[in-house]
A and B are shown apart, each in its own frame.
Chain A
Amino acid sequence: MKSYLAILRGSYMIGLVYRYGFLFNIAGNVLYMSVTYFLWRSIYQGRETLNGLTFDQTYIYVALGSAIFILLKTYVDWQLAFDIREGMIATYLIKPIDLQLYNLFNSFGYALMSLSAITVPTFLLLVFAFKIQIPLGIGLVLFPISLLLAYLLSFCFDYFVGLLCFYTESIWGLSITKDIIVTVLSGALIPLQFFPDAIQKVLMWLPFQAIYYTPLTMIAQPNLSWETFLSMLGVQLFWVVALFGLTRLFYDQAVKVLRISGG
């Protein structure tokens, strides 16, 4: 455990080096939040509610979605692909560490960095500059837990795609396909309530919604019942355990095809 914490600390410190990039990320977020504000304002066009959501609820959902977007991107897929292509992976395999946990803690260091440098400032801007009233409720309390579970799920997807590189030795296409599947099906761009009913039903049975829809709903509609929130967290937890297990099994298969040329 101690060695994993050291890895976490290291990647946090590396993240610090790229401070000035954060400004651009925050600028990007502010721009995105402004543009989505205009977009959703013209979608609502003075209507009280759409699909059971008020404008404020939808806007908080979408704006916060963009704030946690950078946080939930672990880049583990790119990192693994790089390590596999360059042969660096061999140096990890001979160390007494677990590849999955190594990558988890490594990416989590960056995540803590971007949480403090990007997500929190964006959130504060949302409240103070955009004057968005965050409604109070139990959802708000459960949000951090839900966000952590969402991070673990997002990690599983990225790790899985990274492992696929053992076979393909290339990442761009895989990663971009995964990104688009996750962002659309998880309700990162639009609340799931807007999807046609049949599609919505299917999506609720898939793991994607647990990444964006669940935490964002906790913030946007924090006054739903306890039972609703607990079952949402339960579903998240189920997917985390399932996907962690599945990616571990997959790793055992994938590592067999590894070839390293030269050294």
Chain B
Amino acid sequence: MHSLLDYLRLYFIIEAQYIKARMQYRADFIISSIGMFFSSLATLGVFWIIFDSIPDLAGWTFMQLVFIYGFYMIAISPMQILFDHIWQIRFHVQQGTFLKYYFRPLNMMFYYMSEMFDIKGLTQLAAGVVILIYASLQLGLEWTLARIALLLLTLFSASLVQISITVMAGCAAFWVLDAYPVLGLAWKLREFAPYPMNIFDGAFRFAFTYIIPLGFVAFYPSQLFLQPQDVSPLMYFSPLVGIGLFALTYWVWTLGVNSYTGTGS
């Protein structure tokens, strides 16, 4: 078996080659990065315009929402950068090219996802970091070493939540003919993650907390930093949500991989 270190080394080798190949299309990379940048700021733009007419949204100030948004942008970046290949899974499954992933002595999820490294996602990540720092300066948040460690831990967990939701939707490809609508729906849901969850009523808040836990992508973990005095101590266990969910996703992926029978061509 390979150790984690082997995998890391392997990943760098694969991505180095991938990036070299992609750099042939430099114009595409630049345009895509610009597009990525603006499209990831769209919801924030909507909030900005709305706050022209109102002082607060369900008790949240604009700057607090900016903080949540920065958190959100960082949290969705690992999905974009490292797991982007999930969008192609329906082609591979339909056309039988998925079979090749069975024939390497490597973890299949690792091998499959390593085939794509979305460089333009780095723009999103960078924008998210700038927004988060800007908002936390404006809000005058205090950062100790422990708080920074907590931030990194919650970001790690939040990004696992986002990865899990999307990858699980992509796994539908193993059982239905066209997983695109399922993935599209999961992608649309993602846009709601930076909304304050307290605007929702019972059933929706329940669903976004326990069923499709979008709230854990940005809103709940952000509260640990925006209102540390008010959050329930349970929230400090929220990092477990991401890890648990990813374990579940990995299990679903394994089920799918084991049930796939190829296309016979």
Contact = CB atoms under 8 A, between A and B. Distances in A.
14 contacts: A21-B181, A24-B181, A34-B204, A35-B195, A39-B195, A173-B35, A177-B34, A179-B39, A180-B35, A180-B39, A180-B42, A184-B42, A184-B45, A194-B49
B237 interface: no
Contact of B199 (A41, A181, A184): A41
Nearest to A179: B39
Nearest to B192: A35
Contacts of B199: 38-39, 41-42
A32 B192 CA distance: 9
A174 interface: yes
Interface string B42-64: 10011001101110011000000
Contacts of A172: 28, 32, 35
Given A35-B195, A43-B54, A174-B31, 14 more contacts: A18-B178, A21-B180, A38-B200, A39-B199, A41-B199, A50-B53, A168-B31, A173-B30, A173-B120, A176-B32, A176-B39, A177-B31, A177-B39, A183-B42
A168 B31 CA distance: 10
Chain A interface size range: 35 or more
Nearest to B183: A24
Contacts of A261: none
Given A24-B181, A179-B39, A184-B42, A173 B201 contact: no
Interface residues of B, number: 40
A20 interface: yes
Interface of B: 25, 27-36, 38-39, 42, 45-46, 49-50, 52-54, 57-58, 120, 176, 178, 180-182, 184-185, 188-189, 192, 195-196, 199-201, 204
Contacts of B57: 42-43
Interface string A67-88: 0000000000000000000000
- Scoring B34, B36, B180, B188 by chain A CB atoms within 10 A of each residue's CB, the highest score goes to B188
A205 to B, nearest CB: 18
A18 B29 CA distance: 32
B158 to A, nearest CB: 19
Contacts of B184: 24-25, 28
A49 B192 CA distance: 25
Nearest to B54: A43
A93 B250 CA distance: 48
B155 to A, nearest CB: 24
Nearest to A196: B52
A48 to B, nearest CB: 13
Interface in A28-62: 28, 31-32, 34-35, 38-39, 41-43, 45, 50-51
Interface in A164-187: 168-170, 172-177, 179-181, 183-184
Q: Which 8 A-B pairs have the closest CB atoms?
A: A173-B32, A173-B31, A24-B181, A170-B28, A177-B35, A176-B35, A21-B181, A42-B199
Contacts of B201: 38
Contacts of A190: 46, 49-50
